[in-house]
Structure 1
Amino acid sequence: MTGADDTTDRALQALAEPRRRAILRLVAHEELPATRIAEQFEVSRTAISQHLTVLKGAGLLSERREGTRRFYRARPEGLAGLRAFLDEMWAGSLDTARRLVEAERGLSDTDEREEGRAG
């Protein structure tokens, strides 16, 4: 497995948990202290701290310390590998769908190229 695959796997695993996705939404457009993040959930601060650690480890959050306070913000670039993975899968799915429709209509890649030249 490559480093990019490992990063994508960590992002997918981190995002599999609904609270982590909710945390990312909270910090998507503004930096928030851990206490403000924890206030949004009916779980212990320790549980939120663990979620923040997982998100940071997956490269999805950045952390800034100011004295004893910690501030978190989403790292959009942390989703780059996941975006590329999804784009690749989507493109492959579209290509497969195109070929199935063409097969249903009795067209082949060669037929389409010849039709394009004739028009």
Structure 2
Amino acid sequence: MPQLTKAEERVMQALWQQDNNTILIRDIITVMPAPKPHANTVNTILKILTEKGFVAIEPLGNANAFRPLVSKKEYSSRSITQIVKGYFDGSFADMISFFVADKNLDIKELESIVQSLKKKKQ
């Protein structure tokens, strides 16, 4: 799965907010944070996302509606895995240690992670 640019990711975030329903360009722009991009810019990004296999186009009268083909969870999982491979030699433990050392993760959050792992193993 190819990596998304920041602009492509902003458009995908807007699509993911729609719970996999089809959405028109004007509606995508409405849910995007400021500064709002121009409709032509969003249309170009959607064409690129379609070519990359992230978005499907569905004709809707004189307009096109769009829906995501890749879920936010799937993309997030792949992205995190790539970060761990690229920056932490594939070790999630090293990544967690990094956040603990950098004080971005406190003991309560770490304990919550451990509890989640214990539940998953059961």
Q: TM-score range by the shorter chain?
A: 0.5 to 0.7
- Give the match for residue 67 of structure 1: 61
Q: Which has the higher contact order (CA 8 A, sep 6+)?
A: 1
Q: What is the TM-score of this pair, normalised by structure 1?
A: 0.52
Residue-by-residue CA offset, 1:21-72 (whole Å, 9 max, x unaligned): 2221221213211221134452221111111111111111111112211111
- Whole-Å separation in 1 of the counterparts to 2:27 and 2:75: 29
Q: What is the TM-score of this pair, normalised by structure 2?
A: 0.51
Residues 34-73 of structure 1 aligned to structure 2 (within 5 Å): 34-40=25-31, 42-73=36-67
Counterpart AA for 2:28: I
Quick check: which one's helix share is greater?
1
- Give the match for residue 100 of structure 1: none
Contiguous gaps of at least 5 residues in structure 2: 95-122
- Whole-Å separation in 2 of the counterparts to 1:38 and 1:31: 14
Q: Measure how far apart 1:93 and its partner are.
A: 2.5
Which structure has the larger Rg over C-alpha atoms?
Answer: 1
The equivalent position to 2:8 in structure 1, one of 17, 20, 25, is 20
Contiguous gaps of at least 5 residues in structure 1: 1-6, 98-119
| 8 Å contact from structure 2 (residues 14, 31) kept in 1 | no
Residue-by-residue CA offset, 1:58-95 (whole Å, 9 max, x unaligned): 11111111221111111127x86885575473783248
CA RMSD of aligned residues (A): 3.2
Q: Which of structure 1's runs of 4+ aligned residues deviate more than 4 A?
A: 79-86
Q: How many residues align?
A: 84
